[in-house]
Every structure is written in C-alpha cells, then in structure tokens.
Chains A and B, each alone.
Chain A
Amino acid sequence: EVQLAESGGGLVQPGRSLKLSCAASGFTFSDYYMAWVRQAPTKGLEWVASISYDGGSTYYRDSVKGRFTISRDNAKSSLYLQMDSLRSEDTATYYCTTDLAYWGQGTLVTVSS
C-alpha cells in the first residue's frame, strides 16, 4: 500500500525558514516524479514544485522560486521542501504527491508573527 507521510509543519514567523519532509513507502520511490502541492485555508489547490526521478530536474512556481528548494533522497525514500524567507501568503497545508496520483494527508504551515 502506498503511503506518504508529511511532517515538519508548524507556526513560523515571516522571514524565517522551515523544512518539510515526506516519508514514502509501499512503492519504488526512485521510479516516480514527486511534487508538493499546497492549499491555503478554505482555498483551492496550488502546485508548488516538482522533482524528477533522480533529482536532476526541479521545477517551481514563480512565487516560490529562489525561496523554496525541493529535494529527494532515494536511499531514504524521502522528499523534502526547504522553505526560506517565508511569507504570510505561504500559509497552507502542504501535500506531497507521487506524480499526482497518491497524496499524503498534508502538513500545515502557518506563517505569522
């Protein structure tokens, strides 16, 4: 059974950093593109970033480019999202997803002073 478990969310002040993790199991992690998608409270879904099988290619939405870094460790079947210079508009539940098919339960990031 495919399982994705996000962690690392919490309350953080504007301008600070946070690193999200996603632990994957039940499938061959290195066979899949991975992505982060977020959802602000009561809002719709928004793609954040994607990473290729080996981490050699990464893609970001413009609003996070230069502030967020997606990475993966295939040996640990784990996906990461390093978030720097956080802003209030980054407040959202962050989901990791395997190639948009399977999704975790999400981790809430709240950026507030």
Chain B
Amino acid sequence: DVLMTQTPVSLPVSLGGQVSISCRSSQSLVHSDGNTYLHWYLQKPGQSPQLLIYRVSNRFSGVPDRFSGSGSGTDFTLKISRVEPEDLGVYYCLQSTHFPWTFGGGTKLELK
C-alpha cells in the first residue's frame, strides 16, 4: 500500500496568516495515464470531508484562491494564505493513483 505521510500533525495559525501542509508518498503518484491523482480535503468539526484541490493543483468548484496545491512525484504541498476562521479543521491528502487509495493521517489547523 502507498503510505501517505502528512506533516505537521498540528498547525497553529493566526487569522490572516499563511501556512503550508506537506504530504509525501512512499511511491510515485504518477498514473500510467500521465495524471497524478493527489487530492486535498478539509473536514470541519462534525462535517463530512470537502474537496479543496484535485489532481495536485486544481481548485474544486467554489474553493477560494487562498488555497493552492503544488508538487509532483512523491512530494506535495497545500498552501493556505490569509487564513480565515472557516479554514479551521483537519486537512487530509489522498492518493487515488494506486489501489488501495490511501489518505494521509491528517493535519489539524487551529488557532494560536
């Protein structure tokens, strides 16, 4: 199975600040079709996960441009600028290149 290592586990932030979350995979996430199926989700307390970024760097419908994704191969990053209160929660990366699909362990974004 592809191991997804997310860091940090906890990320204190001030409102208006900028943060980065790292996600590293144990093997390349480049699919045989040439695409890289690495996605980012936010799960707010008591809610289901919501898709933020799909295939490394594509913002999902309605996601503000404060969120950006980058990376390639095995090393990926989610950046959040100008953090707002509604951004707080747990962030997960997910790879769907290889079965079984696997999630990172999560990064909890919380106020300092």
Given the contacts A100-B39, A100-B96, A101-B54, A47 and B49 also touching, CB distance less than 8 Å: no
Asked if A104 contacts B103 (CB within 8 A), the reply is no
Q: How many A-B residue pairs have CB under 8 A?
A: 43
Asked if A47 contacts B54 (CB within 8 A), the reply is no
The answer to whether A27 has its CB under 8 Å from any CB of chain B is no
Interface SS majority for chain A? strand
Chain B minimum-CB-distance residue to A47: B101
Given the contacts A46-B103, A47-B103, A105 and B96 also touching, CB distance less than 8 Å: no
Given the contacts A59-B99, A62-B100, A100 and B48 also touching, CB distance less than 8 Å: no
Binding site for B on A (CB under 8 A): 35, 37, 44-47, 50, 59, 61-62, 95, 100-106
Binding site for A on B (CB under 8 A): 39, 41, 43, 48-51, 54, 60, 92, 94, 96, 99-106
